[in-house]
Structure 1
């Protein structure tokens, strides 16, 4: 009797979730195919809920408060936050429209601008970062669980510790971490089409809870006492650099999603559904930032210390019911953010790396196990502040990534791209051996000057002089310098093989519609005939293990839609 599950082939998706778009399971599966029309279900309200959900997280709360620590007043911190969010929202819509128009995920889309193989640099980077941040956000969620348990059973704070100090976590801390991870784990099995309901619930409950906390702060301490006396302690160039640094921090907060937003906008009912991001992102994020500033300032008056972490503020409350519900709102906030910003993004990228074995659900489970347990986030938080600085400083890469994507689609190719070719390593987006050297040069020119500042941020003992100032505007510098270099090189040395008379979508091939049994076979045969008459077979059809490349290089003469 043959045992299943113990051989690599037993885990293959080729039979259960095989690609209905490309005929080669090596380069795609169902989750990486262009989204079927029936699955394009996200409306404007879903994107509002999504961003209200993402805005309500402890990180945004703390970001605005931390701007006060560098010497800015709240009147200077809020404009930095608002301007940063307006810029990032603009990039979000530009890249989001690509996903909504082409219905494909970021790892696939990225191949058209970076080249098939160079695109894996950004994909692998995103996987690693997402898993680390998943664990760190899970640890934040465990702190929320602790506050809830302490509100119900105050004796929770007195549970004896049986773990050694070298473990960097206590017995009660590990218990709360495990509880939060268990609460979070079932959501790994929810499809992206349905996870929007979680965002809707969070988008309703959490803003009302945090508005209540804001009102509490104004009732306890008048704004004339907590906010008005706060004036900047800086002047001249020091003030200018501090403000630019705050602006860069606001940009970097969601710089990752500005790159991989197509992972979510590909589910949009239409392009217009996601345009609301241009409005909702600045409003929601700036408001939550103001909440963080106001409540933190009130807490300083009440408790005599700056409590940047809202959970530390809640820990000071005597009202156990208020502490419980406030902590619950932060659990819900952390939960939604960890799914949207980390596990789903990591899963999409892992699906692109191993489409024959990993789909989105499997990718999320892998992220939850590796990010939640293998990486031991409590160890990272306790002993590796330099590594956290590196992950935060990774925006030096994200700005250039976003700039190249925007310029390539909107200015170089003017929206006329070939979706089927993005699934073929030998197609028109192969460039030079799978690398678009224009993008590589743009990355070199935009990233290298900011690396000394990143090194200094990780280890302040390494002196880099005024080079550290450029790191303070790393996203802005990276985005605009990469955009300019890439645009110049693409115009001066155009990749002629990538230019088309019109966009070629997956829908154009009739392979993106649900079919059944004999009707499926008949339509597949029709699709093959269609492809045979519209594709240049420029490579060995038996290359790469005998798999045919059905989307080598679709001709630009395909009719307009």
Structure 2
């Protein structure tokens, strides 16, 4: 009895007027239901702020400058960034369609493509990725917090270090990492539909900070610094890539650009479902993603280049927090003030990208995995706390390590993304039966064979495993994995057509496009005494597409 009461208390608290709805299906809760109009508040400018905050941050900055470690010149690195960011923009538009049109996120999209039970596989992988990215971005945030505190209390750089050199961090690093996690917790309490204004604010101040550093660097060096010249490779410490090696290094760099944001590409529908109109997410992504991505990488490379000219003893400062620390170390009071304001801007950016892009994304996925016990807020708290055991300081210990980590993400997630996009566009013709996404029984068109869509098993696995020696194929992992998995899935679906293609709900059961109407799609709702409750009156169905 005591155990059952404890478990009951641990369940997600529900509003009294909504409890009956969420209890009708164990696959349904308030956080994974198709969003009604009053919860969809993101217009085009909201997505501008979102992608500015996503593009102008520490990982975007380091992603560009770390391309130099592949043996690319600045011009070649920028060409890679332009191509990579345009591909990212196109992929984000595709993965944002279902969320903007049907107002459900990544976990529900998986149910349609993989099957009700098989959807756990990509969901678990995305959760693991949320944990990894949350840890990595929290580490970056801790580093910026360190430079912020260091501009006020310089003694922080001389704190006692209880860790050995092999851990690639010191006591101040770890302390600021913990502080960043603790400060993040209150922000997680804010519902994601209310993030649009904070994103605009974060995007604006991080943009101003980046351009301020860019202008300061150009003015101080009277140019772009030594990395722009012929001595670039000597400073970077790598051999210049030439011939076929140059071509494949650029291909590798393009895939790493995709890998850097492959998590955001995969679950983009988690945020496009907040769109007030399906078109709200398209123009902002097509324009803002490549523009801000390219500018951030260019600024990062130029600032790194200028730092190499003025602080050669510091090595190649490919992270902005390393650059800010060097500026303070070699400057006076004015430098400390500049470091403070720049660190503050980057800190806001890190809170924005980590809480919304990682913690909340993990929360959304966990809420769909355990809807009875976890809501978005609880899942986001858990995702944030998982940063500790993942030891992110080991993931970002160097530029080449960072590139490898990002590239590995792309290799694994590209086939999953291809399956979802090709299924929604070419097989289902952008038609979804929302009520069947919450029924794990043979009556659902997404139940397939015992909850598993067997059509996705072959392409999803074969494109992830790369044969030994096929290095160049591996370099093409994202576009190749995305395309092959999608094409094979379409072929199998044409040969062995799934049931329910083109079906949509007769009624707007969830009030996704207006007021709820029609009977419950989950059967009769019972009152506390076990008798049938009165069902809502049947009314004419309203259009299920905006």
TM above 0.5: yes
Post-superposition offset of 1:130:
1.0
Could you tell me how far apart the structure 2 residues matched to 1:56 and 1:224 are?
A: 20
Which of the residues 292, 313, 323 maps onto 1:284? 292
Which has the larger displacement, 261-270 or 140-149? 140-149
Equivalent in the alignment of 2:519: 527
Where 1:42 maps in the other structure, the secondary structure is coil
Equivalent in the alignment of 2:268: 261
CA gap of 1:237–1:366, structure 2 versus 1, over 3 A, is same
Post-superposition offset of 1:468:
2.3
CA gap of 1:559–1:514, structure 2 versus 1, over 3 A, is closer
Equivalent in the alignment of 1:117: 117
Which of the residues 369, 384, 387 maps onto 1:368? 384
Where 1:393 maps in the other structure, the secondary structure is helix
Equivalent in the alignment of 1:344: 360
Where 2:446 maps in the other structure, the secondary structure is helix
Which has the larger displacement, 169-178 or 421-430? 169-178
Query: Is the 8 Å Cα contact of residues 142 and 177 (structure 1) preserved in structure 2?
Result: yes
Could you tell me how far apart the structure 2 residues matched to 1:407 and 1:225 are?
A: 45
Q: 1:72-87 residue pairs with structure 2 within 5 A?
A: 72-87=72-87
Could you tell me how far apart the structure 2 residues matched to 1:36 and 1:320 are?
A: 48
Could you tell me how far apart the structure 1 residues matched to 2:102 and 2:20 are?
A: 16
CA gap of 1:22–1:158, structure 2 versus 1, over 3 A, is closer
Which of the residues 319, 325, 340 maps onto 1:315? 325
Where 1:447 maps in the other structure, the secondary structure is coil
2:114 maps to 1:138: no
User: CA offsets per residue over residues 337-388 of structure 1, 9 Å max, x none?
Assistant: 11122101100100011001111111111112222x34444466679x9899
The runs of 5 or more residues in structure 2 that have no matched partner are 234-239, 533-539
Where 1:433 maps in the other structure, the secondary structure is coil
2:462 maps to 1:445: yes
2:306 maps to 1:298: yes
TM-score (norm 1): 0.84
Equivalent in the alignment of 2:414: 399
Post-superposition offset of 1:300:
1.3
Equivalent in the alignment of 1:207: 207
Query: Is the 8 Å Cα contact of residues 67 and 77 (structure 1) preserved in structure 2?
Result: yes
Could you tell me how far apart the structure 1 residues matched to 2:458 and 2:130 are?
A: 26
Could you tell me how far apart the structure 2 residues matched to 1:169 and 1:249 are?
A: 25
Could you tell me how far apart the structure 2 residues matched to 1:446 and 1:274 are?
A: 30
CA gap of 1:323–1:5, structure 2 versus 1, over 3 A, is farther
Query: Is the 8 Å Cα contact of residues 89 and 278 (structure 1) preserved in structure 2?
Result: yes
Could you tell me how far apart the structure 1 residues matched to 2:414 and 2:57 are?
A: 22
Which of the residues 237, 244, 250 maps onto 1:243? 250
Equivalent in the alignment of 1:518: none
Equivalent in the alignment of 1:482: 485
Could you tell me how far apart the structure 2 residues matched to 1:158 and 1:41 are?
A: 47
Q: 1:434-473 residue pairs with structure 2 within 5 A?
A: 434-448=451-465, 450=466, 452=467, 464-465=468-469, 467-473=470-476
Could you tell me how far apart the structure 2 residues matched to 1:355 and 1:225 are?
A: 54
User: CA offsets per residue over residues 187-213 of structure 1, 9 Å max, x none?
Assistant: 111100112222111111010011010
Equivalent in the alignment of 2:237: none
2:21 maps to 1:13: no
Post-superposition offset of 1:226:
3.5
CA gap of 1:191–1:210, structure 2 versus 1, over 3 A, is same
Which has the larger displacement, 169-178 or 81-90? 169-178
Query: Is the 8 Å Cα contact of residues 32 and 104 (structure 1) preserved in structure 2?
Result: yes
Could you tell me how far apart the structure 2 residues matched to 1:255 and 1:264 are?
A: 15
Post-superposition offset of 1:177:
2.3
CA gap of 1:390–1:247, structure 2 versus 1, over 3 A, is closer
Equivalent in the alignment of 2:537: none
Query: Is the 8 Å Cα contact of residues 256 and 410 (structure 2) preserved in structure 1?
Result: no
Could you tell me how far apart the structure 2 residues matched to 1:73 and 1:391 are?
A: 20
2:327 maps to 1:325: no
Equivalent in the alignment of 1:129: 129
Could you tell me how far apart the structure 2 residues matched to 1:225 and 1:7 are?
A: 63
2:506 maps to 1:499: no
CA gap of 1:4–1:78, structure 2 versus 1, over 3 A, is same
Query: Is the 8 Å Cα contact of residues 33 and 510 (structure 2) preserved in structure 1?
Result: no
CA gap of 1:119–1:510, structure 2 versus 1, over 3 A, is closer
Post-superposition offset of 1:39:
0.7
Equivalent in the alignment of 1:412: 427
CA gap of 1:390–1:5, structure 2 versus 1, over 3 A, is farther
* Cα RMSD for the two superposed structures: 3.1
Could you tell me how far apart the structure 2 residues matched to 1:377 and 1:288 are?
A: 23
2:154 maps to 1:154: yes
The runs of 5 or more residues in structure 1 that have no matched partner are 453-463, 516-522, 549-556
Could you tell me how far apart the structure 2 residues matched to 1:391 and 1:209 are?
A: 25
Where 1:429 maps in the other structure, the secondary structure is coil
CA gap of 1:254–1:19, structure 2 versus 1, over 3 A, is farther
Equivalent in the alignment of 1:520: none
CA gap of 1:388–1:375, structure 2 versus 1, over 3 A, is farther
Could you tell me how far apart the structure 2 residues matched to 1:434 and 1:406 are?
A: 20
